[in-house]
A and B are shown apart, each in its own frame.
Chain A
Amino acid sequence: MNKFEQELKNNNFVCTFCTHCNKLVWPISDFCNQCFGMAIWKKVNRTAKLIEFSRKDGEIFCISEFEDGLRIMGNIINAPNLQIGQSLNLVKCDYENGHAVFILEPIY
C-alpha cells in the first residue's frame, strides 16, 4: 500500500505536489508531470465542486472537483437535492478492496 492509500485509510486525502510549479500532481506520482521535479505530499482541501452526478440503486455517484482542478469520483450522501456547480464537503475517505473511496456531502 502506498502513502496515498495509507492516508486514505486514515481519512486523510493527500496528493502529490510540486513546489516548483506550485500545483498538485494528479494522479499521484513521484515526479511533477510539468517540470519532472520531485513531488512532495500535501493535504488536499476537502471542499469540492459538483461537476456531474447520477444514481445507481438509489446511491448517488458523482464527479467532484477539488483545488487545482483535481477531479475524483465519489459517493454523495445526505443530498435531498443537488445542483451542478454546488459545493461539497469530503466527509470521509478510505481505501477498500483496492479502491479509493470518497464520500461527500452537500454544503447548503
Chain B
Amino acid sequence: MRKVGIAASGLTEFSKNDLPIDTLMLSAVKSLFDESQNLSQKDIDVVITSTNDNNKYLANIISELSGISPKSAHAIESLCNSGTSGIVSAYSYVASGLADSVLVIGAEKSNNPGLVLEWDKSRGQYTHPIYWSSMFTNAHMRKYGTTLEDIAYVSAKNHRNAINNPYAFFKKEFTIDEIMKSKPLTENLRLYDCSMPCDGAAAVLVSAENTIKKFTDSPVWISGIGQKSISAGFTKNEELTSMSSVIQSASSACQMAKKTISDIDVAELHDAFGICEIIELEDLGFAPKGKGSTYVKNLYDTDDKKINPRGGLIGSGHPLGATGIAQTIEIFQQLQGKANKRQVEGAKTGLVQNMSAAATSSTVLILES
C-alpha cells in the first residue's frame, strides 16, 4: 500500500445559519483551495461528501460547483462518524492506487434528520440521544463514584479551549457553577454537558506520498486506522461504563501505526456529552478505568490542551457530517505546528476518535508529522 497523508484543509465557522448544505460545502472547498499551494481542480481524482443530509448527488453537485471533474464522486453516511468514514474511504482510494488525491467534504445542517435513529425501536419512546447519554452517565457514576461536578469539568475545559478556535460555535468560557446550574435535561445531564447540533462544513485533501509535496511542505501522514461497528441499536451496548467499539477501533489503529497510547501527544475525542470524554479517556488508555474524570480535572487545572484542543464537540458545536473532518483538521494543524494559541508544543503524533449512535460504531485515526 502507498503512504497516504493529509495535504490541505478548509473549514467554515460552526454556527446556526440559513445557508443551504451545498453552499456550506462549497465554502469549505473554497477555504481549502485558498490555503493550498499549487492545487488545481485537475489534481483531484475523487470527491467524497460526508453528510446525513437528504439532498441527492451532493458529491457531484459540489464537484461541478468547484470546477472539478473527478473520476468518481459519491457520498458517505454513517451518522456522527460520517466524517472520518469519508477520510477512511479516501485513504483506501489513495493507498490502493485508484486515486492520487481525494477531496473529502463534510457538512450538516442543524435540522438534519440524523440526530435521531428512527430505525432503532429498542429505544422505545426515548429516541433522543440525551437518554442514552443518561444511561452511560448513571452507570459510570454508580460503578466508579463519578460525580456531576466531575462531568462538568469536561464542559468547562472544552469551552475554555474553544475560545481559541475561530471556527467554534461557542466562544465563551463557562464556570463549573454555570455548567452545574445550566438547564437540567435529565437527572444527570445538563444543557452545557451536551454538544450543540449546528451548521458547518469541513474539508480535507488526502494525497499519496508521490504527489503530496506539490501541495504542502508539511504533510501529515495517516499511519493508523481502526473502525468497529458492534450494532446499530443502542441497547446492544452490553457494558454501559465503557464503549466496546472505541476499544476495538483504537486497538486496530495502534496496531497498524505500531504505536501505543503513550505515544499520543494530542487527541480529539468525540465528546457528544461530557460522560463520553471520560469513558473514552479510559477506553483509549489515557486514564485507568474509573479515573477518566481525575484525568480531565488535571487537564483543566493545568490548562493542558492535550485532549480536545479545539474545544471538542461541546465547545465547537457538532455538525454531524463535518465533525470527524474538523477533528482531523485540528490534529493536522497541531502536527504541522500551526494551531496558534491551541498549539500543543512539540506534538508529533495525534489521535482522532469519532463515533456514532451511542458508540455503536467508532473510528480511530492515528496521524503523524
Contact = CB atoms under 8 A, between A and B. Distances in A.
Contact of B187 (A56, A72, A75, A101): A56
A4 B240 CA distance: 27
Interface string A61-105: 101000000011111000000001000000000001011111000
B131 A61 contact: yes
B185 A73 contact: no
A31 interface: no
Contact of A52 (B127, B135, B185, B233): B135
Contacts of B235: 63, 71-73
B287 interface: no
Contacts of B125: 73, 75, 96, 99-101
Nearest to A99: B125
B131 A73 contact: yes
Given A71-B235, A71-B236, A53 B138 contact: yes
Contacts of B120: 27
Contacts of A4: 121
Interface residues of B, number: 27
Interface string A2-42: 00100000000000000000000011100000000000000
Contacts of A53: 135, 138
Chain A CB within 10 Å, residue with most, of B119, B123, B236: B123
Given A55-B187, A63-B235, A72 B124 contact: yes
B138 A73 contact: no
A54 interface: yes
B191 interface: no
B121 A28 contact: yes
Given A54-B134, A71-B236, A72-B235, A27 B188 contact: no
Contacts of A55: 186-187
Contact of A63 (B118, B135, B137, B187): B135
B112 to A, nearest CB: 18
B123 A54 contact: no
B124 A73 contact: yes
B122 interface: yes
B126 interface: yes
A72 B123 CA distance: 6
A28 to B, nearest CB: 7
A51 to B, nearest CB: 8
Contacts of A71: 122, 235-236
Consensus secondary structure, chain A interface: strand
B334 to A, nearest CB: 36
A4 B172 CA distance: 47
B236 A56 contact: no
A28 B123 CA distance: 13
Contacts of A101: 124-125
B257 interface: no
A96 B119 CA distance: 15
Contacts of B187: 54-56
Nearest to B132: A73
Given A54-B134, A54-B138, A73-B131, A100 B236 contact: no
Interface string B118-158: 11111111110011001101110010000000000000000
Given A71-B236, A75-B124, 17 more contacts: A27-B122, A52-B240, A54-B131, A54-B134, A55-B186, A55-B187, A56-B130, A56-B131, A56-B185, A56-B186, A56-B187, A63-B235, A72-B124, A73-B122, A73-B131, A74-B124, A99-B125
Interface of B: 118-127, 130-131, 134-135, 137-139, 142, 185-188, 233-236, 240
16 contacts: A4-B121, A26-B122, A27-B121, A52-B138, A54-B186, A55-B186, A55-B187, A56-B130, A56-B134, A56-B185, A56-B187, A63-B235, A71-B122, A71-B236, A74-B124, A99-B124
Interface of A: 4, 26-28, 51-56, 61, 63, 71-75, 84, 96, 98-102
The 8 A-B pairs with the shortest beta carbon distances in the complex, nearest first, are: A71-B235, A54-B134, A55-B187, A99-B125, A73-B124, A56-B186, A73-B126, A52-B135
